[in-house]
Chains A and B, each alone.
Chain A
């Protein structure tokens, strides 16, 4: 498998967040991590990409251990993270933001740019605009576009639908499906459970730092406890 998390414990300072979390993703799979606020979804992603050092457990990518690597090293290996805060460069142009995304793989940059502009034509229109002046949806597109510029093998997205209008969310997930069929492995956390489950292959339900349930997304959609807890009103 491509990505494997085993028995991960992680937290911030003295506060433990993740308890014995295990997860795996095959190449070309789309995995959802769902759960309530504070369950540790963001912590999990951060631990995978090296923004947080786990207290114990391992993260494996292909045949390497990622647990001791710094975030930029993980990015260079092909696991790219799009945080909820996006972390763009607001005073730099859309084009410059994208260029920097290709930092680890400059040769492929020109090709990738064409692909990304094809995927997000709005970004092409605004290529000379400063990133800080884009709308929420456009910034999200830019963040993903920047992540894709390096030609990653695994894309990790933290609640990409936050703050987006429903139309933009639909467009976003359409694009993600396209990328999935092109071979990209996607791990996405979401609060919008129905959306996440309908567009992914498998899912993990994270509650209070542990995996309560996991399985095929279509199965989970029909699971009565999931329906009650997460799909009741949504």
Chain B
């Protein structure tokens, strides 16, 4: 029972990493990034390529994460430019279609160049004992990494001026501009950060499971579901939603099967949109 719970939390944290990125890009950039999962995959692929070159795993992972960030930068500065020329719903729609198209482009490229790709990290100590429960070191490590990233993110947003400016733009872009804050520069930064967090998710996927080149769309969907349930404008809500849905998914998969579990998650998302669009777990609208 606790094993399932723990598994759910680990998976959930991973989904949160993806979902927070989607939330940030939506809140700041006004774009629903349907290619977000691809940042994770590209990060993992880059890390694997670096590993093949003989670079040590930690550096290779960092390299992968940096690559994801670079891709994010490129996407914000090129692909999304047409979307940024508009506001509100039109930007959303244009951004959605552009990122959808981009997701297909990456998917096609990756599956063509790396058809049998799989990234897995092997740890020297496979199992570890904690408080009487033995768990896979990989899962523990993945969770700790995710938690560390979140802690860093919260500290950044809460304590630094740059972080506060990001929150201010999400909250009220007009007000932020009146304070002299340049939304588009900040937005590029956020897209990079979001992409890097996705990169972390991709690399840690290789840690406690394995990452395949075709997982992009799946990551995007799961991240999107979590972001929706947590509230596409709420970062706290997204973190909570990820853990919640991760646990729900773990238990549902175990007791009723993978398909029904997926349907439950999807229903959560649909219910949220129809009943409480600001997010089931969001504190503020």
Query: Chain A: residues with CB nearer than 8 A to chain B?
Result: 49, 51, 70-73, 75-76, 80-83, 86-92, 96, 99-101, 103-104, 106, 146-147, 150
Contacts and interface: CB of A to CB of B under 8 A. Distances in A.
Contacts of A72: 176-183
Contacts of A146: 179
B172 interface: yes
B167 A92 contact: yes
B175 interface: yes
B164 interface: yes
B161 A71 contact: no
Q: Which 4 A-B pairs have the closest CB atoms?
A: A87-B175, A104-B180, A75-B180, A71-B177
B174 interface: yes
B284 interface: yes
Given A99-B161, A103-B179, 6 more contacts: A70-B177, A75-B177, A89-B176, A103-B181, A104-B180, A147-B178
B165 A88 contact: no
B168 interface: yes
B159 to A, nearest CB: 11
Contacts of A90: 171-172, 284
Given A75-B179, A100-B168, A87 B161 contact: no
A101 B178 CA distance: 8
A96 B164 contact: yes
Contacts of A92: 164, 167-168, 171
A127 to B, nearest CB: 15
10 contacts: A71-B177, A72-B181, A75-B179, A82-B178, A88-B175, A91-B171, A96-B164, A99-B164, A100-B176, A103-B181
Contact of A103 (B167, B171, B174, B180): B180
Interface centre among B161, B171, B180, B183 (most CB of A within 10 A): B180
Nearest to A104: B180
Interface in B140-197: 161, 164-165, 167-168, 171-172, 174-183
Contacts of B177: 51, 70-72, 75
A140 B178 CA distance: 15
Contacts of A83: 174, 178
A152 B181 CA distance: 15
- Tell me whether chain B's interface is mostly helix, strand or loop, or mixed: helix
A75 B174 CA distance: 12
B171 A101 contact: no
A87 B172 contact: yes
B164 A100 contact: yes
A83 B172 CA distance: 13
Contacts of A70: 177, 182
A73 B180 CA distance: 6
B178 A71 contact: yes
A148 B178 CA distance: 11
B156 to A, nearest CB: 14
Interface centre among B164, B174, B176, B178 (most CB of A within 10 A): B178
B161 A106 contact: yes
A71 B172 CA distance: 14
Given A91-B284, A92-B164, A106-B161, A100 B171 contact: no
Contacts of A88: 172, 175
A205 B168 CA distance: 36
Contacts of A49: 178
A87 B178 contact: yes
A206 B268 CA distance: 54
A103 B172 contact: no
B187 to A, nearest CB: 12
B165 A89 contact: no
Contact of B175 (A73, A89, A99): A89
Nearest to B175: A87
Interface centre among A73, A87, A90, A104 (most CB of B within 10 A): A87
A28 to B, nearest CB: 23
Nearest to B183: A72
A150 B175 CA distance: 14
B171 A89 contact: yes
A103 B160 CA distance: 12
Contacts of A96: 164
Given A72-B181, A75-B179, A87 B174 contact: yes
Contacts of B171: 89-92
Contacts of B161: 99-100, 103, 106
Interface centre among A75, A80, A146 (most CB of B within 10 A): A75
A98 to B, nearest CB: 10
A88 B167 CA distance: 12
Contacts of A71: 174, 177-178
B77 to A, nearest CB: 18
Contacts of B164: 92, 96, 99-100
